[in-house]
């Protein structure tokens, strides 16, 4: 934990500031210590350089299962830059320059790494799971990146951010809009938020077949077994994308309209087998997954008084949206 992060932190219980008691430091970074709330006196540890600011956790199973995923697939792929910019478009690289940014649900830190390269002034990554340890390993040499283990529904942060993005996280909360509202409370006036969520439109086969399978079977399976069981599915999907969807879309474009779920499967045909395995595993392990209609996403922004709202269908199976806090 670098000391400049302290000015952004707020107690998740009473919203007061923290006093920092250091015990182990290294090159100006606090590796071990305690954060003591100046209001309610509740103490939180700093361990391995990461403030652990969790209170009573409602999404415990979600945290455990996604933590396992990112520890199992820790790699940062070059393909992530294009994917990230597609998810947050029309935001571009230049938008980050000089801003204080929050990655809400940072997982293994793949977008933190990119936001740092895009010259954000300061990027804070928050995640409820132990994946923050993986994120630290992937970003520890980046001086503008800071990490917190915390709950985005009870964020231990002040209203201090110019830009917040949350990619593939809100639809895994038991109350997605509550998470969205909590993030709104961290934006400065005039600040911008970007989200990406699973769409209900275009996903009928997932909503009515894959999702019940996930809900009643795969989300309850031991993770080590599910990881192995998902590999043959991933291998088949990888081969299908590489041998059919990619050549048809590149060389036989007039036939692509006949391919099932074409936009998404062509999109992931650029990923290697390990990344496709991660995607399949990710879809099957989650205890909670909502598929959200466009009008619901728009209502979130309207009820939270955002302006200049833009919503776009991404790969005909998900929604990316952004808005400015008026």
**Which runs of E-coded beta strand occur in 170-212?**
187-198
Read off the tokens for 278.
């991660």
Burial class (CB in 10 A: 0-12, 13-18, 19+), 163: buried
Q: With CA atoms as reference, report the closest residue to 10 among 168, 161, 134.
A: 161
Instruction: Give the confidence band of 23 by pLDDT, cuts at 50, 70, 90.
Output: confident
- Calculate the average pLDDT of the chain: 96
Count of CA atoms in the C-beta half-sphere (13 A) of 243:
7
Give percent of the chain above pLDDT 70: 100
pLDDT in tens, 188-207: 999 999 999 999 999 999 99
Instruction: Give the confidence band of 59 by pLDDT, cuts at 50, 70, 90.
Output: confident
pLDDT in tens, 111-128: 999 999 999 999 999 999
Is 145 strand, coil or helix? strand
Q: Find the mean pLDDT for residues 18-44.
A: 93
Contacts of 248 (CB under 8 A, 6+ apart): 255, 256, 259
Q: What does the alpha-carbon distance between residue 39 and residue 50 come to, in Å, rounded to a whole number?
A: 22
Q: With CA atoms as reference, report the closest residue to 154 among 181, 187, 193.
A: 181
For tokens 């699973």, the residue is 198
Q: Find the mean pLDDT for residues 89-99.
A: 97
Helix 223-240, helix 60-72: angle, nearest 10: 60
Q: With CA atoms as reference, report the closest residue to 276 among 77, 125, 103.
A: 77
Q: What pTM did the predictor assign?
A: 0.95
Residue 57 has pLDDT above 80, yes or no: no
Give pLDDT, residue 326. 87
Q: What does the alpha-carbon distance between residue 287 and residue 63 come to, in Å, rounded to a whole number?
A: 10
Residue 64 has pLDDT above 90, yes or no: yes
The residues with which 157 forms a beta bridge, in sequence order, are 9
pLDDT in tens, 68-77: 999 999 999 9
Give percent of the chain above pLDDT 90: 96
Q: Is the peptide bond before 90 cis (omega within 30 degrees of 0)?
A: yes
Pairing of strands 145-149, 122-127: parallel
For tokens 């399949």, the residue is 280
Q: What does the alpha-carbon distance between residue 151 and residue 141 come to, in Å, rounded to a whole number?
A: 25
Residue 27 has pLDDT above 90, yes or no: no
Domains of the chain (ranges, CATH numbers): 1-51 (no CATH), 54-199+293-325 (3.40.50.150), 222-285 (no CATH)
Read off the tokens for 103.
């990655």
Give pLDDT, residue 56. 80
Q: Find the mean pLDDT for residues 35-44.
A: 96
Q: Find the mean pLDDT for residues 42-66.
A: 91
pLDDT in tens, 138-187: 999 999 999 999 999 999 999 999 999 999 999 999 999 999 999 999 99
């Amino acid at each position: 934990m670098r000391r400049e992060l302290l000015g952004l932190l707020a107690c998740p219980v009473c919203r007061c500031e923290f006093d920092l008691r250091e015990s182990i430091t290294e090159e100006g970074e606090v590796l071990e210590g305690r954060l003591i709330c100046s209001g309610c006196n509740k103490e939180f540890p700093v361990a391995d350089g990461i403030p652990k600011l969790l209170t009573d956790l409602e999404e415990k199973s979600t945290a455990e299962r996604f933590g396992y995923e990112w520890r199992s697939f820790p790699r940062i792929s070059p393909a992530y830059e294009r994917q990230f910019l597609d998810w947050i478009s029309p935001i571009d690289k230049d938008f980050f320059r000089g801003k204080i940014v929050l990655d809400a649900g940072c997982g293994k830190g793949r977008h933190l790494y990119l936001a740092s390269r895009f010259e954000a002034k300061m990027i804070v990554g928050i995640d409820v799971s132990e994946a923050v340890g993986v994120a630290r390993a992937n970003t520890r040499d980046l001086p503008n990146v800071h990490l917190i283990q915390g709950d985005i529904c009870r964020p231990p942060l002040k209203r201090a951010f110019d830009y917040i993005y949350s990619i593939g996280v809100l639809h895994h909360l038991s109350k997605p809009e509550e998470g969205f509202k909590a993030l709104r409370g961290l934006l400065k006036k005039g600040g911008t938020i970007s989200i990406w969520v699973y769409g209900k439109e275009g996903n009928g086969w997932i909503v009515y077949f894959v999702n019940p399978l996930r809900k009643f079977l795969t989300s309850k399976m031991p993770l080590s077994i599910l990881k192995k069981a998902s590999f043959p599915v991933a291998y088949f999907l990888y081969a299908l994308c590489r041998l059919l969807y990619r050549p048809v879309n590149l060389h036989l474009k007039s036939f692509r309209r006949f391919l099932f779920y074409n936009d998404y499967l062509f999109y992931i045909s650029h990923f290697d087998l390990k990344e496709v395995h991660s995607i399949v595993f990710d879809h099957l392990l989650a205890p909670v997954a909502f598929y959200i209609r466009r009008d619901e996403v728009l209502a979130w922004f309207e009820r939270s008084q955002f302006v200049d709202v833009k919503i776009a269908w991404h790969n005909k199976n998900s929604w990316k949206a952004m808005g400015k806090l008026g």
